Copies of this chain bind each other. A is one copy, B any other.
Amino acid sequence: MTITITAFERSPDRGRGLARDMRVRWALEEAGQHYEVRLVSFEALKQPAHLALQPFGQIPTFEEGDLTLFESGAIVLHIAERHGGLLPRDANGRARAIAWMFAALNTVEPPIFDHSLARILERDEPWYEHRLQSLEKSIRKRLDSLSRHLGDADWLDGAFSAGDLLMVSVLLRLKSAKIFDDYPSLAAYVARGEARPAYQRAFAAQLAVFQAASAG
């Protein structure tokens, strides 16, 4: 059965791999699964045809046979459960890897995402400086915990897992932020993720979409 995912026709990150289809592409590459991509315009996101697949009008979606899924975390977990390479085989290790998936999305991502958003949307607001400081404080709290846990290990809990895939994806948004200079072990962790051949194939594929749209 063919796997089809959706991605932005023109990603607002200009091909930097920060849109959430990147996580799903990366997971599919780690799992060695071929996939097709349907590009969606910003206008089409709000149309009934897309909302039937994704109630919140976002990307990515995942379709395979009669299954449609949304939420990048759920899609990555679905891929990880069906194919090798993204979850440990022992039950406890598997449960802990899933805990890191939720930690990436529910504990680490929110302040990082808000920080990116504030830098775009709240630049002219009276609270901008104060808000940035407050968000940076929240981010540092998370990064302190994460770097203490990681120590000098390569990955969060044994071998590379879907938990690392999502955590690296979430941290990538900080790559150009000054704050990351204070966390060299996390910067190295992200670089280990980016160095994986599956990441590189996924990154090249999403960049090609942006380049084609820009040339068109």
Contact = CB atoms under 8 A, between A and B. Distances in A.
A88 to B, nearest CB: 13
Interface in A92-134: 92, 95-96, 98-99, 101-103, 105-107, 109-110, 113-114, 122, 125-127, 130-131, 134
A71 B167 CA distance: 14
Contact of A145 (B55, B67, B101, B148): B55
A78 B98 contact: yes
Interface of A: 51, 55-58, 66-75, 77-78, 91-92, 95-96, 98-99, 101-103, 105-107, 109-110, 113-114, 122, 125-127, 130-131, 134, 142, 145-146, 148-149
A99 B127 contact: no
Lowest 9 CB-CB distances: which A-B pairs, in order? A74-B99, A71-B102, A55-B149, A127-B127, A73-B102, A74-B102, A105-B106, A110-B110, A56-B145
Number of copies of this kind of chain in the complex: 2
24 contacts: A51-B145, A56-B103, A56-B107, A56-B142, A56-B145, A57-B145, A58-B107, A66-B92, A67-B96, A69-B95, A70-B103, A71-B107, A72-B102, A73-B102, A74-B95, A74-B101, A74-B103, A77-B98, A78-B98, A102-B105, A106-B106, A110-B113, A122-B134, A127-B130
